[in-house]
Structures are given as structure tokens and as C-alpha cells.
Amino acid sequence: MHDVNPDNPVRHYLSTDKDPVWNMPSELTALATLTRRLLCDALDKRFFSRYYDLSAMEKTSYTLEMQLKLHPIWKKPKRNINAVVVLVFRQHGYTSQQSFDKLTKVNEKIRDQLRSVLSTVAEPIGLYDPEPSSTVSSSYFDPVVERDLPKSG
């Protein structure tokens, strides 16, 4: 997020974590500056607009965000998707209250879609009976049984 922002310094590719070296925007070549600006605009238009543009918000499935919400890292506030969403709002000049309101709306949409997917997947199929009686149809297991049986003839 910070690397493509044309106004921020970019980390030198040879720098280490112990001795970081940064290149200021004024030190970059015209090509590097243009590339950062074009990349920033493209990512914003094609991906990050889903967080602040109402029409894009309605069309978005938020599949990536739903997967992230299910991941254990979600419990660490500094590393979850909320930090990215808030940063996007800041870059677009939203106030803290506007950012909070939009973040709440995005999280509600993600949560609603996640609940919908989980409720669809969690349709009850009945209890598994390891030894079905002869009176109970085992059509649910028939494809597996037929496939595993040796072929006669």
C-alpha cells in the first residue's frame, strides 16, 4: 500500500531490515515516478474502489475479504483487512468518522455475504449412519459404493 503511493518514499531494493535505505520521491527517475502513479491509480480503480465507491460496493462479492475473515490472522488488528481499508479512506481524504462509517458498512457487507455462503454450505444432510439398515435408503452413499465395487464380467 505504501510502496505504490507516489508521495511516499520507496524502500531501496538492496536495503535490509537492520539497515533500511529509502529513496525519496524526488530522487526517483521520471519513469519510476510515472510507474508508481499509474500503478496506484490502476489498483485504486480496479480493486480499492470497492471500499469507498457505493456502486462498486454493491457489485463486489468480497470473496477475498471473506477468506481473510476466516483466517486466524484476522484476530490481530494491526494485520487484518481493516487497516488496509482505513488507509484507503485516508488516502481519499475521508475524515475519521466517515472512515469509521464506511468501514462499518464494508464489514457488514462482508459479514452478510459470509453468513450467506456459510448457511448455503451448511445445509443439513442428515446424520451419517455407518451401518445403514436395509429399510433405510443409502442413495447418498451409492455412487461411492458402486465406484469401489469390483466390476463383474
Tens place of pLDDT per residue across the chain (153 aa): 556 677 888 888 898 989 999 999 899 899 988 998 999 899 889 888 888 888 888 888 888 888 888 887 776 666 678 888 888 888 888 998 998 898 888 889 988 998 888 888 876 666 665 665 555 555 554 555 555 555 665
The DSSP letter of residue 85 is H
How many structural domains comprise the chain?
A: 1
Domain annotation covers residue 56: yes
Q: Classify residue 51: in a domain, yes or no.
A: yes
Q: Is residue 144 domain-resident?
A: no
Residue 146 lies in a domain: no
Q: What is the pLDDT of residue 82?
A: 84
Instruction: Give the domain range for residue 75.
Output: 10-121
Predicted TM-score (pTM) of the model is 0.61
In this structure, is residue 140 part of a structural domain? no
For residues 110 and 43, what is the distance between their CA atoms, to the nearest angstrom? 20
Residue 108 in domain: yes
